[in-house]
Amino acid sequence: MRKSFVAASIAATLALSSLPTLATSTQNNASQQSWQDTLQQAKGQTVYFNAWGGADNINDYIQWAADRIQEEYDVTLKQVKLTDTSDAVNRVLAEKAAGKNNNGSIDLIWLNGENFRAMKDNNLLFGPFSQSLPNYMTYVDENARQSLTQDFGTPVDGMESPWGMAQVIFMYDTATLSNPPKSIADLLTYAKAHPGRITYPEPPQFLGSTFLKQALYELTPYRKALAQPADSVDFDKITAPLWAYLDQLHKVAWRNGQTFPSSSEEMMRLLDDQEIDVALSFDISAASVQIDKGNLPDSVRSYVFTNGTIGNTHFLAIPYNSGAKAGAQVVANFMLSPEAQIKKQTPTIWGDLSVLSYAKLPASEQAKFDALPRGIATLSIEELGQTLPEPHSSWVGALEAEWRKRYAQ
Amino acid sequence: MPLKHAKWITGTISLLLVFPVAVGLIGTLLPAFAYFPPLGEYNLSFTPWYNLFAQGEFYASLKLTLITGIAAPLLALWFALSLLAWGYQRPFFQKIEALLSPILAIPHAAIAIGLLFLLSPSGWLVRLFSPWLTGFDRPPNWITVQDPYGVSLILALVIKEMPYLLFVMLATMRSIKARESLQVGQALGYSRFTLWRKVLIPQLYPIIRLPIFIVVAFSLTVVDLALVIGPNTPSTLAVTLLRWFNDPDLSMRLMASAGAISLMLIIVAVLAGWEVAHLSFSKLSRAERSNGKRFGLTDNLLRLGVVLGLLALLNAFVALALLPIWSLTRRWRFPDALPSQWTWDNIERATPLLMDLTLNTLTIALIATLMACVISLVMLETKRHSSKVSSLSKPHVFDWLIYVPILLPQIGFLFGLHVLLIYLNLNGDLCAIIALHLMYVLPYVYLTLKGPYLAYQEEYLLQANRLNHRPWRNYLVVKIAMLKPAIFTAFAIGFSVSIAQYLPTLIAGEGRYSTLTTEAVAQAASGDRKQVGSMAMLQAFFPIMVFWLAQFIPPRWTRWRLVLKNLFSRRNTSCSV
């Protein structure tokens, strides 16, 4: 079994390098052959998919995918709903501690950033596999976005397969607010004029950490240093403007900066309760989905900052000790199909951005993407504007530790 | 129970109790001293401890943990005693008793979410008075929940613990002959509160000491309640530890293990302090208790406790009543006191999951609790046997061992245990979940049953055996039958403990078996009150049923049994004729 993966990955690497056409086509045949092997092995396997389970619409989407995969590939996909992705990382680690190197309990994890780095650095992942998935080879353009090959600055190296893209958006209620603050500096001005109406999720919740990164990006004069590991640069000097900013913001923040919301979902609830004026999300269609469910008034709209907001890619990875690696690859490949990606980008389903290259799609699939409806509060790709890159993944931990030291004691 | 080989049984059960705990402990202790092979850490050192003590957040969290973890059980005990003294054997109090079970049964997270909605600045209390009285068109910028001193957390803890203490106290009333003492005392002219204070509470306390210790340990280590309604900058130590354990930077785990060990030491220290405080308090108050005065100023403390206790109960009921409303809500904005749009969608969406979750939940809870009841009876009988010669109040080895699972913080200890399950290839297995549940259910069942069981007048059984020597049959139809109320109560408590287990289910089941609770907490993570409302309702239904049955069945058992017996014997005779 392992041999065929090695063969597949070698074939894929070769196929992707710029060899003469003839050689490529033979290699393609070889990789097709090994993909057939993978499909064969996958038949009848059960894939335990550990994915954050906090949003109904995403769980429903995964259930839809499970039904499709069952009928097409005879692979059973079971979602294990996590409250925190690091639970799954810990579980793989516990299994390694116990020497359970085969038939581990997790076959597929939805992750990115720090969790990916932790698993990759501790050799907890199977791979490389993603670059040999047929749909990856056909539809993904690695040059389209840096975040496809650099997950928070950690090289992906085929150890995880892209699933979707996210970008920070802000939400406000047009009924109470006509001109929302469109930069980090404006946000403070607004908070001073309207005390208690601005807040952000509590780091280390990932959206909270992202807010810190967004603020740092806009405030620091040393933007370039953010691409390097945090311990290789002068952290104090680079982040000084951020802390000065937060010191001011917290004085006029929601509940005087004594407590912070725990997640984007809680922020939307607070927006609906009118406790706060601006909510954040990493899900561009969050506002439309929540309006549809009756959790937000239909006067809520999304917007982004004038100079862009932070965006990233989220991935699927296979633990090194999975007992259903073939099945997991089949799932990862299905998730990259135009069918699955179009469904996922449908705002009323999930609204998560596709990772496929529009240019590489056949015209018929392009037309389907063009025909996707948008929710009333969802921004178009053009409106989303510029995506700011994630800083190197070491910044997350460093910023969180410093934040907790300053504001959580 | 005609037990043989009492020593052998003691040994086996002790081993079974100790083994998983020891493994879990070692799995936490070694990383605390920097031995953790999966991360390539092989050299024992004190580095994790240095790191822990260098964390400012450790001290801040610790302070908060001590404040909430000591204040909550003190208040809960005070309120529970006051309520009992005030209402015991009064007709209306029995209605309150029946209402206690929902609070006992409903999972902590759901209560916390209900309270959060009741008390927050955009919550139902403020909505009720806005804008006509307060003038608020938008919620005020107050800090009424998740306050930095943990007042709202203490309230949530009291609401959860007071009913448990009351329940346990009511189960022991018969064994301390409360009614007789009250009659005699009142005939002598003592006021009700004075009588409780001077006579009954001092008798009651030693019997319920163990449940009180559980409550203290629970307050110090609770995770889900503190996550929802506790402050988060800093959070309590248990929550901080959980965050460290879950940190993507895996080396944080070493420091977290050291923190878990220190949390265990803190529990021991607090319990020791609690005992010392109790001893000195009863010494100091001995003179006052025996001065013969029929009334006392301190009676007012009990009176105040009644008022505050009732207020806390009222809070809980309103919070619980609001949850089902949410599950039918489509739109409900500030400052509306009731939803503006209603819908069945939320419940409809939850229905398909229901069958699956219910099946898992009930299978686990029923098997684990039944096993716990049987094992508890064997343990108690063994204890009775082995302490026949010496005094019954002398602690048996079980009385120490039984504490261990509930006194150890779940977060540190279950990770070590998970490694054991993987070695045994039992991870993700239903048996593993039941075993882990049993580990947490057994102590509650044992401790609830212990007082009444040991207080049982063995003469009844002796007499029955003299009349007709069939020890097993007599044990069942005389002793067990007489202990029915206590056993049913223990079963109900064990059942609700099992239903509420979150971390053990998740860790042993690896998410492959979802229960109503794991699903509800996963939903609570999203902060969606509609979902949580539906889930909490479903989750509360079964424990409430069992609690209700535990109170409903015992007094009617004999009547039903006789009716059935007559029915059958009549039928038999008619057949034979």
Distance from CA of B427 to the nearest CA of A (A): 8
Residue B155's pLDDT is what?
94
Does the pLDDT value for residue A102 go beyond 60?
A: yes
CB contact, 8 Å: A194 with chain B? Answer: no
Q: Check residue A7 and give its pLDDT.
A: 35
Answer yes or no: do A54 and B506 touch at CB < 8 A. no
CATH number of A169-311+387-407: 3.40.190.10
In angstroms, the CA B93 to CA B99 distance is 10
At A49, the pLDDT band (50, 70, 90 cuts) reads very high
Answer yes or no: do A269 and B147 touch at CB < 8 A.
no
- Put simply, the chain A residues between 265 and 284 with a CB less than 8 A from any chain B CB are 265-266, 269-270, 272-275
The shortest CB-CB distance from A55 to any of B122, B234, B526 is to B526
Backbone region of residue A90 per phi and psi (left: phi > 0; alpha: psi in -120 to 50; beta: other values): alpha
Say how far apart CA A132 and CA B39 lie, in whole Å.
30
pLDDT at A23: 42
* The architecture CATH gives domain A2-164+313-378: 3-Layer(aba) Sandwich (3.40)
Same CATH topology for A2-164+313-378 and A169-311+387-407: the answer is yes
Q: Do A202 and B233 touch (CB under 8 A)?
A: yes
Instruction: Give yes or no for a contact between B140 and B126, defined as CB atoms under 8 angstroms apart.
Output: yes
Enumerate the residues of chain B whose CB falls inside 8 A of the CB of residue A254: 141
* CA–CA min distance A19, chain B (Å): 39
Interface mutation vs chain A, best among B116, B147, B232, most A CBs within 10 Å: B232
Nearest by Cα to B6 from B363, B415, B389: B389
* Distances B65 to A31, A408, B69, B314, B346 between C-alpha atoms, Å: 58, 14, 5, 26, 36
Q: Assign domain B47-321 to its CATH architecture.
A: Orthogonal Bundle (1.10)
Q: Cβ separation of A273 and B334 shorter than 8 Å? A: yes
CA distance, residue A408 to nearest chain B CA (Å):
4
A272: closest CA of chain B, how far (Å):
7
CA distance B214 to chain A (A): 27
> Which of A26-30, A51-55, B57-61, B224-228 reaches the highest mean pLDDT?
B57-61
Check if the beta carbon of residue A303 is closer than 8 Å to that of residue A182.
Answer: yes
Mean per-residue pLDDT over chain B, rounded: 84
> Which residue from A minimizes the CA distance to B117?
A273
pLDDT at residue number A2? 35
Q: What percentage of residues in chain B have a pLDDT greater than 90?
A: 19
A–B: how many Cβ contacts below 8 A?
170
Chain A: give the shortest CA distance to residue B11, in Å.
Answer: 28
Contact (CB<8Å) A122/B39: yes
Question: Whole-angstrom Cα distance, residue B481 to residue B490?
Answer: 14
Output the pLDDT for position A22.
Answer: 41
- How much of chain B, in percent, has pLDDT values that exceed 70? 94
> Cα B201 vs. chain centroid, distance in angstroms?
21
B57, B248, B525 member nearest A114 (Cβ): B248
User: Which pLDDT score, from 0 to 100, does residue A4 have?
Assistant: 34
User: Would you state the structure tokens that stand for residue B447, as one six-digit string?
Assistant: 């401790």
User: Most distant CA pair in chain B: distance in Å?
Assistant: 88
Please, are residues B329 and B530 in contact by the beta-carbon 8 Å criterion? yes
Nearest to B38 among A50, A93, A263 (CB): A93
Q: Is A21 on the interface with B (CB under 8 A)?
A: no
Region A99-127: what's the mean pLDDT? Answer: 91
Q: Token pair of B288, please?
A: 């006052």
Helices (H), A205-234: 206-219
Give the nearest chain A residue to B415 (CA atoms): A94
Q: Provide the β-strand partners of residue A172.
A: A278, A301
Is A196 in CB contact (< 8 Å) with chain B? yes
Test the A interface: residue of B251, B510, B515 with most A CBs within 10 Å = B510
User: Among A288, A271, A266, A279, which residue's Cα sits nearest to residue A349?
Assistant: A288
Q: What number is the average pLDDT over the span A73-85?
A: 88
For A30-51, what is the mean pLDDT?
A: 90
Quickly state the pLDDT bin for B43 (edges 50, 70, 90): confident
Tell whether the model's pLDDT for residue A24 goes beyond 90: no
> Span B176-185, mean pLDDT?
84
Q: In terms of CA atoms, which chain A residue is nearest residue B349? A: A56
Model pLDDT for residues B334-354, shown as the tens digit of each residue: 888 889 889 888 778 777 767
User: A54 and B526: CB-CB below 8 Å?
Assistant: yes
Question: In B, which residues are within 8 Å of A118 by CB distance?
Answer: 248-250
pLDDT at A12 over 60: no
Average pLDDT over residues B139-163: 90
A17-26, B39-48, B167-176: lowest mean pLDDT where? A17-26
The domain locations on chain A are 2-164+313-378, 169-311+387-407
User: CA quadruple B470, B476, B480, B484: dihedral positive or negative?
Assistant: negative
A47 three-state secondary structure: strand
Domain at B1-45+352-577, CATH from 3.30.70.360, 3.40.930.10, 3.40.50.720, 1.10.3720.10: 1.10.3720.10
- Supply the pLDDT for residue B228: 79
| pLDDT for the residue numbered B222 | 86
Instruction: Kindly determine whether residue A397 and residue B248, on different chains, have CB atoms separated by under 8 Å.
Output: yes
> Which residue(s) pair with A312 in the sheet?
A166
Would you tell me which residues 286-345 of chain A have a C-beta closer than 8 angstroms to some C-beta of chain B?
294-295, 297
| Structure token digits, residue A129 | 């596999």
pLDDT at A281: 93
- B203 exposure class (CB count in 10 Å sphere: 0-12, 13-18, 19+): middle
State how far residue A179 is from chain B, nearest Cα, in angstroms: 19
Residue-level pLDDT at B390: 55
Distance from CA of A332 to the nearest CA of B (A): 20
Least confident of A11-15, B95-99, B346-350, B364-368: A11-15
Nearest to B60 among A80, A262, A409 (CB): A409
pLDDT > 50? residue B112 = yes
CA distance to partner chain B, nearest, from residue A127 (Å): 19
pLDDT at A317 over 50: yes
pLDDT over threshold 70, residue A376: yes
- H helices of B54-135, in order, are 56-87, 91-105, 108-119, 124-128
Order of strands, edge to edge, in the sheet holding A300-303? A278-281, A169-173, A300-303
Q: What is the mean pLDDT of residues B201-222?
A: 87
Which of A196-210, A258-272, A325-339 is modeled with the greatest confidence?
A: A325-339
For residues B172-188, give the mean pLDDT: 83
Asked if the model's pLDDT at residue B38 lies above 50, the reply is yes
- Quick one: average pLDDT of A199-227? 92
Give the pLDDT confidence of B390-407 residue by residue, as tens digits.
555 567 777 778 878 877
Residue A202 with chain B: CB contacts under 8 Å: 232-233
Does the beta-carbon distance from B512 to A254 stay under 8 Å? no
Please give the pLDDT value at position A208. Answer: 93
Higher per-residue pLDDT: A169 or B525 = A169
Please compute the mean of the pLDDT values over residues B115-130 and round it to a whole number: 88
Task: Give the mean model confidence (pLDDT) for residues B457-485.
Answer: 88
| Rounded CA separation A330/A38 (Å) | 8
Select from B56, B232, B419 the Cβ nearest to the Cβ of A260: B232
| Number of Cβ within a 10 Å radius of residue B556 | 10
SS3 B502: coil
pLDDT computed for residue B556 by the predictor: 87
The answer to whether B122 contacts A195, with C-beta atoms less than 8 Å apart, is no
Residue B64, min C-alpha distance to chain A (Å)? 10
Average pLDDT over residues B354-367: 87
pLDDT for the residue B393: 58
Q: Does A258 touch chain B (CB under 8 A)?
A: yes
pLDDT tier at B469, thresholds 50, 70, 90: confident
In the predicted model, is pLDDT for residue B214 greater than 80?
Answer: yes
The predicted-structure confidence for B246-262, as pLDDT tens digits, reads as follows 777 777 888 988 998 89
Provide the pLDDT confidence category of residue A161 given band limits of 50, 70 and 90. Answer: very high
Name residues whose C-beta falls within 8 Å of residue A270's C-beta, 6 or more positions apart in sequence: A199, A254, A261, A276, A279, B122
Interchain contact, A259 vs B231, CB within 8 Å: yes
Q: Between B508 and B101, where is the model more confident?
A: B508
Quote the minimal CA–CA distance from A343 to chain B in Å.
20
pLDDT of A140 over the 80 cut = yes
Chain B residues within an 8 Å CB radius of A90: 245-246, 253, 415
- Show which of residues 42-101 on chain A sit within 8 Å of chain B, judged by CB atoms: 48, 50, 53-56, 78, 80-84, 86-87, 89-91, 93-100
Query: By three-state DSSP, how is residue A364 classified?
Result: helix
Cβ B233–A100 below 8 Å, yes or no? no
What pLDDT, on the 0 to 100 scale, is given for residue B316? Answer: 87
Pairing state of beta strands A108-111 and A46-52? Answer: parallel
Instruction: Read off the pLDDT of residues A224-270 as tens digits, 9 standing for 90 and up.
Output: 999 888 999 999 999 999 999 999 999 999 999 998 998 888 899 89
Chain B positions touching A269 (Cβ under 8 A) are 527-529
Q: CB-based contacts of A274: which residues, under 8 Å, 6+ apart?
A: A173, A176, B122, B138, B139, B333, B334
Contact (CB<8Å) A86/B247? yes
**Cβ separation of B248 and A53 shorter than 8 Å?**
no
CATH 1.10.3720.10 spans which residues of chain B? 1-45+352-577, 47-321
